[in-house]
Amino acid sequence: MRRKDREITDGEKIREIIEGCDCLRLGLCDDEGMYIVPLNFGAVCEAGQWYFYCHGASAGRKYDCIQNRGRAAFEMDRAHELVTGREACEYSYLYESIIGDGTVEVVEDPDEKKKGLDAVMNHYGRGEWHYDVELMRRVAVFKIRVLHLSCKAHYESE
């Protein structure tokens, strides 16, 4: 990371930022090139290991990229604010962001599939979730095992 002064390394602050983000942008690659897709997500941290769960169709370019490559990059951000000035170079932008990469797979195990969907649902609102059996069969759940993660923030006081 070039701007070490903006790096966030505190685990609780990283968790707070992840929990406050409403979209994970998943970067994939296939023979056609790079592909980025915005997704709802859920985050689980087990023994210091982060996992992100997403869901989608069980067919299409995203699904094929995941099945064929098994690697992905991701980005999420929040706390956006434009800082204005009198001159163009006085403008700036405030933010908190997470970027990283990892392995990605389609979850086949029904119990883990439910765990992934629960993580997504709980990211947006707590509750007891019940899923239609046919929906569970049709929906694809993707699990990202984070290999590298970095967190950066630009606050107004800088």
Closest CA to 40 of 143, 98, 123: 123
Residue ranges covered by each domain of the chain: 4-108+123-154
CA distance 87 to 144: 43
**How much is the pLDDT for 157?**
64
**How much is the pLDDT for 129?**
87
Say yes or no to pLDDT of 56 above 70: yes
Say yes or no to pLDDT of 1 above 70: no
Give 67-120 pLDDT, tens digit per residue: 999 999 999 999 988 988 899 888 888 999 999 999 999 999 999 999 999 999
**Local structure of residue 4 (DSSP, 8 states):** G
**How much is the pLDDT for 7?**
87
Give 22-38 pLDDT, tens digit per residue: 999 999 999 999 999 99
Q: How many CB atoms lie within 10 A of CB 92?
A: 14
> Considering Cα of 6, then 71, then 60, then 107, what sign does the dihedral take?
negative
**How much is the pLDDT for 92?**
87
Architecture label for domain 4-108+123-154: Roll (2.30)
CA distance 141 to 74: 16
Q: What percent of the chain has pLDDT over 70?
A: 97
Contact present, 97 and 146 (Cβ < 8 Å): no
Contact present, 98 and 77 (Cβ < 8 Å): yes
Tokens of 33: 């090139």
pLDDT interval class at 127 (50, 70, 90): confident
Q: How would DSSP label each residue in 69-111?
A: H-EEEEEEEEEEEEE--SSGGG-EEEEEEEEEEEEEEE---HH
Say yes or no to pLDDT of 139 above 70: yes
**How much is the pLDDT for 158?**
52
